[in-house]
Amino acid sequence: MARDERGVTAQSEDFASWYNELVLKAGLVDRGPAKGTMVIRPYGYRVWELLQAELDARIKASGHENAYFPLLIPQSYLEREADHVDGFAPELAVVTHAGGKELEEPLVVRPTSETIIGEMMAKWISSHRDLPLLLNQWANVVRWEMRPRMFLRTTEFLWQEGHTAHADEQQAREEMLLALGIYQEVARDYAAMPVAPGEKTPGERFAGAVSTMTIESMMRDGKALQAGTSHYMGTNFATAFGISYAGMDGREELCHTTSWGMSTRMLGGIVMTHGDDRGLVLPPRLAPYQVVIVPITRGDGTEVVAAAQTLAEGLRRAGVRVHVDDRDQLSPGFKFNDWELKGVPVRVELGPRDLAAGTAVLVRRLGDQGKQSVQLDTLPQLMAGILEEFQMFLLARAAEFRDTHTSDVEDWAAFESGVASGWVRALHCGQPGCEDDIKTMTSATPRCVPLDGPPQTGRCVRCDAPAAYGKRVIFSRAY
Amino acid sequence: MARDERGVTAQSEDFASWYNELVLKAGLVDRGPAKGTMVIRPYGYRVWELLQAELDARIKASGHENAYFPLLIPQSYLEREADHVDGFAPELAVVTHAGGKELEEPLVVRPTSETIIGEMMAKWISSHRDLPLLLNQWANVVRWEMRPRMFLRTTEFLWQEGHTAHADEQQAREEMLLALGIYQEVARDYAAMPVAPGEKTPGERFAGAVSTMTIESMMRDGKALQAGTSHYMGTNFATAFGISYAGMDGREELCHTTSWGMSTRMLGGIVMTHGDDRGLVLPPRLAPYQVVIVPITRGDGTEVVAAAQTLAEGLRRAGVRVHVDDRDQLSPGFKFNDWELKGVPVRVELGPRDLAAGTAVLVRRLGDQGKQSVQLDTLPQLMAGILEEFQMFLLARAAEFRDTHTSDVEDWAAFESGVASGWVRALHCGQPGCEDDIKTMTSATPRCVPLDGPPQTGRCVRCDAPAAYGKRVIFSRAY
């Protein structure tokens, strides 16, 4: 297997190996000791914190309040909603012993919190005045994974889960779309991931939901990543947990609830949307270091390092996240590779000759990668624009990649060839059996019925039965 | 039992009942379904978020990086450090089944993360260049509690845990004190809790530590609350997990490690440091709402409510966290009581007559509680000062309370009477048997050997043996 000097398999050669090696080598994660667990290292955690801050601000600004619910849930709670327990039972981690004794009732480590939050909502809501109840929690959840993969499918992951209760269906469905809109905005404007918002087909719904909305994003191997989901639960959980309210007329009514989540899986999405053979490519808005300054020193580098620190100060004052790599035991070339591997958007090289000329050399991680000589004293003012341009470039590049790997298909041969390397939009009958058949034949699944798809009728691309949904469905292999 | 109209037992009558009722009635927490678990409700969680932001900023500014380590730890890890497993074994929650199968090795839900972080540190550290390694994680931990109490002792709680590795003892001990200093500063400047920093006696050390530092705070019943701890582990965990580095001379050396934590227990501390018979009293810097405006309306209140909203906008622009209580089904008197229960520092009443005069009525939650008429248009500029004064007042009041409930004692009779209502400073022999004896006689334990205590020698207040530590020890009953 061909590896470059840093030991990462080329993306084009073996995408899965490239990914698995890169997330470790770039210092985003490490393997935890228990099966399928991950350690999120500082470099990866910082990306999560930056994403978290944006998501949290939007969740709060739209009227939601953060709270925290217990990790351990009585097993019987999950059994109250039949579809929910069917969906999650195979993935549960169960605490049977605590405090040196066997528990009377086992506790499950939350795989998601609809049940325990439903129980509390039932206690807190009594009148229409208590609605809507708009809650969010930042938490860890555990779902036992047979085929774990860093960020994408791990036994434990971090996420936010919004949980809301409303007086009627319309308000709950609006909430579901509001959350989806936040996810779309954060994915697009921060992760530079152009996503397709849409509704899941019944077979792909969340366990216990009436409707599941998703944002789907294309990775550079043409597969889809479900990057965030938002669910309308109807009155399913309200019935199971007794979440009801007295209306203005005094009559007791069931609440309509929603839940929605975005997780550390997004970090895997960022890696697979922008990365290349040389390593990560981080969108500036989520990059721990937006700029790294590498002083080029031979012999005594005191003066150059001092100038690098001064430049860094100027950049910091201009609001740029900057790092000076002054490790003296490493060569500039090693450092260049190292920061390319770590996906830093902009590298600034500063040597004695540059310094004498009052300039520095600027190199972008992608796009125009030529070495560009810039005036040292103008860099702090210019950098915000350079980073913003880079951010826009990544989004445009990802959108172009997606569009050139997406096709409308009318027949089965085109469908099969389309999902081998990207997404297809096709008419489908909506029958679960036909979905299964397609999955068996091609590994592709219906990703979503896009919200913005134009109306279209016709016959199923696979079985020729009349098409459902009134529009095309996106099919793809997926993570 | 005497209760006022809001149903909270008077603090002076039964401190424990007052606390237990207040944290629920004020909407800080609710009981979770599993034994000893708590739900942190939005009002309580917001206090935690505000505290968290300050703590996190200081942890980062002092060079630490956030990361995240798995919740589930192989049971065998805990057994590698003998004192550590002895200390935590009785409190462990154990996952024995996952993914529908019995696990080959049970996993414990982390009670603290020295072991799993130690394992990773061993992997990440190879050279002196990798040191110091300064990590922090925000996480939930589980310790099975026989006598749970909201915030103070719950089966699950939230905290940050710092974990660091250093080249030698001196640097590790400096780190331990650095973390302690951060805790002291945050407790004092944000929670308005004047704390006593000091070292735990050997019997009160963290399981596996060589030295444990603590900040101890006095609650309004005279008991102590351990509000944050910082530990120097020596090479205990380095030995157990193989955390070593090649020094500059190439020789392999063991690292010296530390850990330190502050938790949601602080919320209980804030309640018990400042609260009174009427409810919570929140320090402005951590109050979700620093100011609540209550429009006083009879009949059509449109104009008054609009003026209240305008005032709120002005306060918000001045950086004040403000809420307008425009619930129309409740009387002003009910609202006053409600916001006093919830501990809002400043209430602004605004009625038609005030509005006509261009004034509002300002009422502080404590201190000078008289109704003060103020010019509406000056309020936004004045409020920061009013809140700051209130913050300082709380700290000064808590310090005065502590000082008047602390005494230097020379004999056993004074010791017994002192710990019945507060703290005593006494000479002690340092023998574990004598500590046990004192605990049996009085329920008091050595809280710490204060860092700033003046040198003193003499004989043990209890057993007359020669005193240890070279200074007085603080004894108290404690949470």
Match 């589980």 to its residue by tokens: B142
Q: Is the domain covering A406-476 a CATH 3.30.465.10 domain?
A: no
Residue A137 clears pLDDT 90, i.e. is over it: yes
**Which ipTM did the prediction report?**
0.96
Inter-chain contact A144–B99, Cβ cutoff 8 Å? Answer: yes
User: What's residue A6's pLDDT?
Assistant: 56
Q: What are phi and psi of A13, to 5 degrees?
A: -80, -45
User: What's residue B327's pLDDT?
Assistant: 92
Residue B370 to residues B184, B346, B362, B373, B406, Cα–Cα distance (Å): 33, 12, 8, 10, 31
Domain boundaries, chain A: 15-274, 289-389, 406-476
Confidence grade of residue A5 (pLDDT, cut at 50, 70, 90)? low
pLDDT in tens, A204-257: 999 999 999 999 999 999 999 999 999 999 999 999 999 999 999 999 999 999
User: What's residue A1's pLDDT?
Assistant: 37
Residue A111 to residues A73, A130, A139, Cα–Cα distance (Å): 10, 27, 11
Could you give the percent of chain A with pLDDT greater than 70?
99
What is the rounded CA–CA span in Å between residue A419 and residue A425?
A: 10
User: What's residue A301's pLDDT?
Assistant: 81
User: What's residue A3's pLDDT?
Assistant: 41
pLDDT in tens, A452-463: 989 999 999 999
User: What's residue B2's pLDDT?
Assistant: 40
Number of H helices, E strands in chain B: 14, 23
Given 3.40.50.800, 3.40.50.1980, 3.40.630.30, 3.40.640.10, which CATH number is that of A289-389? 3.40.50.800
Residue B210 to residues B113, B171, B255, Cα–Cα distance (Å): 17, 14, 14
Contacts of A142 in chain B (CB under 8 A): 71-72
Our CA angle for B356, B358, B364, nearest 5°, is 115
**Rounded mean pLDDT, A182-195:** 98
Question: B114, B139 in Cβ contact below 8 A?
Answer: no
CATH number of B289-388: 3.40.50.800
User: What's residue B5's pLDDT?
Assistant: 52
Residue A120 clears pLDDT 80, i.e. is over it: yes
Nearest-CB residue to A33 (from B89, B119, B155): B119
What is the rounded CA–CA span in Å between residue A123 and residue B32?
A: 11
Inter-chain contact B100–A90, Cβ cutoff 8 Å? Answer: yes
Q: Which residue of A has its CA nearest to B69?
A: A39
pLDDT in tens, A298-324: 777 889 999 999 999 999 999 999 999
Nearest-CB residue to A158 (from B68, B97, B327): B68
- pTM equals 0.96
Q: How far apart are the CA of A93 and the nearest CA of chain B, in angstroms?
A: 4
Q: How far apart are the CA of B108 and the nearest CA of chain A, in angstroms?
A: 9
| Residue of A59, A94, A267 to mutate for B, most B C-beta atoms under 10 A | A94
**Count of pairs with CB atoms under 8 A, one residue in A, one in B:** 169
Match 């004989």 to its residue by tokens: B459
> Average pLDDT by consecutive 10-residue portion of chain B (479 residues)?
62 96 98 95 98 98 98 95 88 96 96 97 97 98 94 97 98 98 98 98 94 98 98 97 96 98 98 97 98 89 93 98 94 95 97 95 88 94 97 98 98 98 98 97 98 95 97 98
Contacts of A71 in chain B (CB under 8 A): 37, 71, 109, 140, 142, 156
Per the DSSP assignment, residues forming a β-bridge with B257 are B165
Q: How far apart are the CA of B408 and the nearest CA of chain A, in angstroms?
A: 39
Per the DSSP assignment, residues forming a β-bridge with A225 are A217
Nearest-CB residue to B146 (from A70, A99, A124): A99
The mean predicted confidence, pLDDT, of chain A is 96
pLDDT in tens, A272-304: 999 999 999 999 999 999 999 999 987 778 899
Contacts of B71 in chain A (CB under 8 A): 37, 71, 109, 140, 142, 156
Given 3.30.930.10, 3.40.50.2300, 3.40.367.20, 3.90.380.10, which CATH number is that of A15-274? 3.30.930.10
User: What's residue B61's pLDDT?
Assistant: 98
Q: Which residue of B has its CA nearest to A43?
A: B67
User: What's residue B181's pLDDT?
Assistant: 98
Q: Which residue of A has its CA nearest to B42?
A: A67
Q: How far apart are the CA of B70 and the nearest CA of chain A, in angstroms?
A: 6
Inter-chain contact A96–B94, Cβ cutoff 8 Å? Answer: yes
User: What's residue A2's pLDDT?
Assistant: 40
| Secondary structure (3-state) at A125 | coil
| Residue of B107, B116, B134 to mutate for A, most A C-beta atoms under 10 A | B107
Q: How far apart are the CA of A86 and the nearest CA of chain B, in angstroms?
A: 12
Q: What are phi and psi of B279, to 5 degrees?
A: 135, -155
Among A364-373, A433-442, B238-247, B277-286, name the one with the lowest average pLDDT: A364-373
| Residue of B86, B95, B109, B119 to mutate for A, most A C-beta atoms under 10 A | B95
Nearest-CB residue to A120 (from B39, B89, B156): B39
Nearest-CB residue to B158 (from A34, A68, A146): A68
